[in-house]
Structure 1
């Protein structure tokens, strides 16, 4: 049966307590922004508010299995939450009428039909959806039992994907613990304090620049090469991927990636550190990022963990400057002196754990492809 989406959900707006009121922030109530949308389920939130902040703002609390959808800027990202979360005004909460609509089914319908949601956006500078947008969306609903069956099949994939990501988070924490012991306990495996420019045997380079855009064609659909303009903070290839054709890829030859490189944001999201996955597709890195490629894979593994640690972040921030926009340059970065362990230490304490994360990520990519085919089948 076909419904107007606004007839089978309650639409709830978000809000932000006054930033200037310290008593409103850093409480026990998680507060979600679009940057917390990673996968189906929320894991952690960057910010939290107090009960006082909740009472003195337009923020609202979620209930179990509410669906959040981003409504401004990056429109159409969806997230399922439990009870007790709050969210800002760039997000709508959709609360399903469970007499006709299963919340999980709604989540997957929105995930598959994000293009329909975006068709209802407004604004010349930022894409925005309003409550009226949901009046113009219609949804075909099978009976409740059929909705549950479909949602259950798709949820199995998301649960496994979520588990893989939790395991990978734990593996990375193990690597950081091992690094902490190495540096704090001054283990003998630290051979030297080395200059980064001398340590990296291949090169440290900038990604492609916006000034090249006239010579590069970007595509939203898969093409010859993946253009990694952003890898998210959990080092995943989720969302907003761009692609380029073979001519553009050849033009950007100085920014080619082959897997295993370390990519560090040097403008805006300064210090965000990523490890490039090994994929069958050609890849190229975008602007505002520096990438490190060493001929020694153990060194790549070590640098990824080091620059993700408090010592690495401190080193990056020591060369970061700018009032309007924080940034650092490649020259200063290459002069950084950092502790360097033996290859043997890295092979025992870092690389095995990263290999396990790679296997989990490969499985996750496969699971997402299968899930995508099921979304196409059911919706």
Structure 2
């Protein structure tokens, strides 16, 4: 049966407590913004508010299995949340009428039909979803039993993807723990063990529609330090020889060295190659082939932690390469390399597996919706 989407959900607006009121912030209530959207489920939020902040703003609390959808700027990203979250005014909460609609089914319908949602947006400068947008969207709903069956099949993939991501988070933490144990070693200059390569400002006129040679940009680095193919752009693979100086290899490390996300680090896994390095980032690679890339990643984060606040520049802050090349770091004994090598291979395996799971899941989305 076909329904108007606004007839089978309750649409709830978000809000932001006054930033100037310190007593409204850093409380026990997680507060979601668009930057917290990553995957189906929310893991952590950047900010939180207090009960006082909730009472003195238009923010609302979520209930279990509410769906959040980004409504301004980055439009159409969806997230499923449990009870007790709040969210800002750039997000709508959709609360399913469970007599006709399974929340998980709604999540996957929205994920598949984001283009339909965007067609209903308003605004010349920023794409913006309004409450009226949902009046123009219709959804075909099978009976509840079939909705549950479809949602269950798709949810199995998201649960496995989420588990792999949690494991990878722990593997990165284990690598840091082992690295920190070596900090009392003798120091050497970072330039003795790693190269630092600038990126290249590829021109949009070189982009092609086919999936040929990837260009990895700063926006492709997820908060878990791993790269995603979402919003990746491509150029012709015939241009590889011309730009091979900027090519990535598995286990390269990346650092954003200018702009709003300065200091963000990324780790390249094998499923993200072959690819090329865009501007605004440095690429780090071991000078000796026996040094694991994950160890270089730890070094870069170690240096980055010590020089935060040292960026220069009037219009946009940026790091100077000399800060990194001359920074003294502990010399890690080669007997420890096997530890980092084992961890990086497992991280690579899980991230590659997740890409395969994403592809299968989206094939199912196309089948069911």
TM-score bracket for this pair, using the shorter chain length: over 0.9
Q: Is the 8 A contact 2:257 2:280 kept in 1?
A: yes
Counterpart Cα distance in 1 of 2:147 and 2:207: 41
**Residue of structure 2 equivalent to 1:245:** 236
**Residue of structure 2 equivalent to 1:285:** 277
Counterpart Cα distance in 1 of 2:53 and 2:42: 21
Q: Is the 8 A contact 1:217 1:248 kept in 2?
A: no
Q: Is the 8 A contact 1:224 1:282 kept in 2?
A: no
RMSD of Structure 2 on Structure 1 (CA): 1.9
Counterpart Cα distance in 2 of 1:238 and 1:4: 33
User: In structure 2, which of residues 307, 313, 323 is the aligned counterpart of residue 332 of structure 1?
Assistant: 323
Q: CA deviation at 1:247?
A: 4.7
- 1:305 lines up with 2:298 in the alignment: yes
- 1:372 lines up with 2:362 in the alignment: yes
Counterpart Cα distance in 2 of 1:297 and 1:168: 23
**Residue of structure 1 equivalent to 2:75:** 75
Q: CA deviation at 1:124?
A: 3.0
- 1:105 lines up with 2:105 in the alignment: yes
The structure-2 alpha-carbon separation of the partners of 1:281 and 1:167, relative to structure 1 and needing over 3 Å to count, comes to closer
Counterpart Cα distance in 2 of 1:254 and 1:46: 36
The structure-2 alpha-carbon separation of the partners of 1:44 and 1:336, relative to structure 1 and needing over 3 Å to count, comes to same
Which blocks of at least 5 consecutive residues in structure 1 are unaligned? none
Counterpart Cα distance in 1 of 2:319 and 2:265: 14
**Residue of structure 1 equivalent to 2:130:** 130
* 1:287-314 deviation line (CA, Å, top 9, x unaligned): 2111112242534221212333xx3332
* 1:234-279 deviation line (CA, Å, top 9, x unaligned): 1241532222222554553332112211011112211111111112
Question: For 1:257, what is the secondary structure of its paired residue?
Answer: coil
**Residue of structure 2 equivalent to 1:195:** 189
* 1:28-84 deviation line (CA, Å, top 9, x unaligned): 000001111111001111110000000111111000000001111111111000000
State TM-score, norm by structure 2.
0.93
Which blocks of at least 5 consecutive residues in structure 2 are unaligned? none
**Residue of structure 1 equivalent to 2:115:** 115
**Which residues in structure 2 correspond to 1:51-66 (within 5 Å)?**
51-66=51-66
Counterpart Cα distance in 2 of 1:253 and 1:331: 24
Q: Which contiguous aligned blocks of 4+ residues in structure 1 show a shift greater than 4 angstroms?
A: 247-251
